Amino acid sequence: MNQKQRILVTGGAGFLGSQLCEILVARGDDVICLDNFFTSQKVNVTHLLDKPNFELIRHDVIVPIWLEVDQIYNLACPAAPGHYQYNPIKTMKTSVMGAINVLGLAKRCNARVLQASTSEVYGDPEIHPQTEDYRGSVNPIGPRACYDEGKRAAETLFMEYHRMNKVDIRIVRIFNTYGPRMHPFDGRVVSNFIRQALDNQPLTIFGDGSQTRSFCYRDDLLQAMILMMENESGFTGPVNIGNPAEFTIRQLAELIIELTGSSSEIVEGELPVDDPTRRQPDIRLAKQHLQWEPEISLREGLEKTIAWFKTIDLAHYHPPTPNY
């Protein structure tokens, strides 16, 4: 797509959204960043505020908004377990009403709209690695359900707006992604371990650390997301995006201790309810339709992320907004 696009990024001040805005602004598109700053800080986008092709709107996606755009990346939703469990009802409203509102906007504007879905739609998976046709194993009444079921319902809405109203949709299922601009207090494993290691504090493994995750570096992920948005073949997804290299949480802890040169020990804590045991994306669809695969190894990505953590002032980062 060579023409300049008017692009709305909901959740555009967050970890992934702010870097996405930066990429789109740099290539010359007109970018509207919409965010209620529930889990993000203005500092993530202040460097873009003086760009003529960047606008920032404080708004909540559960409320409809009237704009004219060509593309919508729908990223607004708390992503870390501690953040999405802060107000589970609001998390579900954000996923479901947010989806209805961006889909309505896309329908009116004839815009293309991409949903940032998640590997959590697979729940605690019984098949490994996870393929897109696997329907998942989600506990609908557990503490993760507000996020998992909200994202599943959002996928349903995307498909129905596509089937009924011919809305031009894209669905990407994002697997654990990390990198610079992660919220340092989001409670996710990478941010916790890096902060703990840099402070020479014990690294808190939940359970015995044998559970696995497959970690994707931010830039690889965003490249795939943009390729999906710009794909002209009619492929709507859902498509898994992630790095198939699978690690136990203990291996991750050991690697972060090595890379930071920390004297931290590893301690074991309680495993959260419904914590998925294994997670690894099958990315054959992404390879086939997007000619994409991740390039940045966990070691290389962690080195970049640790370097960023060393530069930030933690006083800039607040916990989730009260009364959200």
Q: For residue 73, give the 3-state DSSP assignment.
A: strand
- In the numeric block, the tokens 């602004």 are attached to 25
- Return the structure tokens found at 172: 């990407």
Cα separation, 258 vs 266, in Å, equals 12
- Dihedral sign, CA of 293, 295, 300, 304? negative
- Which one from 73, 84, 86, 147 is the annotated catalytic residue? 147
Please identify, using beta-carbon distances, which residue of 14 and 45 lies nearer to ligand UDP: 14
Stretch binding ligand NAD (CB under 6 A), from 34-42, 46-54, 225-233, 249-257: 34-42
Please identify, using beta-carbon distances, which residue of 75 and 111 lies nearer to ligand UDP: 75
Site residues (CB under 6 A) for ligand UDP?
80-81, 176, 188-189, 192, 204-206, 211, 213, 249, 272, 275
Q: Does residue 225 interact with ligand NAD by CB under 6 A? A: no
Please identify, using beta-carbon distances, which residue of 157 and 264 lies nearer to ligand NAD: 157
Q: Is residue 324 flagged as an active site residue?
A: no
At its nearest, how many Å lie between ligand NAD and the CB of residue 186? 7
| Burial 14-23, CB ≥16 within 10 A → b, else e | bbbbbbbbbe
- Return the structure tokens found at 190: 């990478």
Q: For residue 298, which of 217, 219, 223 has the smallest C-alpha distance?
A: 217
Q: Does residue 45 interact with ligand NAD by CB under 6 A? A: no
Q: Does residue 237 interact with ligand NAD by CB under 6 A? A: no
Please identify which residue in 21, 69, 77, 157 interacts with ligand NAD, judged by CB under 6 A. Answer: 77
Please identify, using beta-carbon distances, which residue of 94 and 280 lies nearer to ligand NAD: 94
In the DSSP assignment, the letter for residue 63 is S
CB atoms within 10 A of CB 261: 10
Check residue 44 and give left, alpha or beta (phi > 0: left; psi -120 to 50: alpha). alpha
Please identify, using beta-carbon distances, which residue of 237 and 276 lies nearer to ligand UDP: 276
Contacted by 238, from ligand NAD, ligand UDP, none: CB < 5 to 8 Å by type: none
Which amino acid, residue 4? K
Element (H, E) at 217: strand 216-217
- In the numeric block, the tokens 């046709």 are attached to 133
Q: Does residue 87 interact with ligand NAD by CB under 6 A? A: no
Q: Does residue 94 interact with ligand NAD by CB under 6 A? A: yes
List residues binding ligand NAD (CB under 6 A).
10-11, 13-17, 35-40, 60-62, 75-79, 83, 94, 116, 118, 174, 176-177, 183
Catalytic site positions = 147
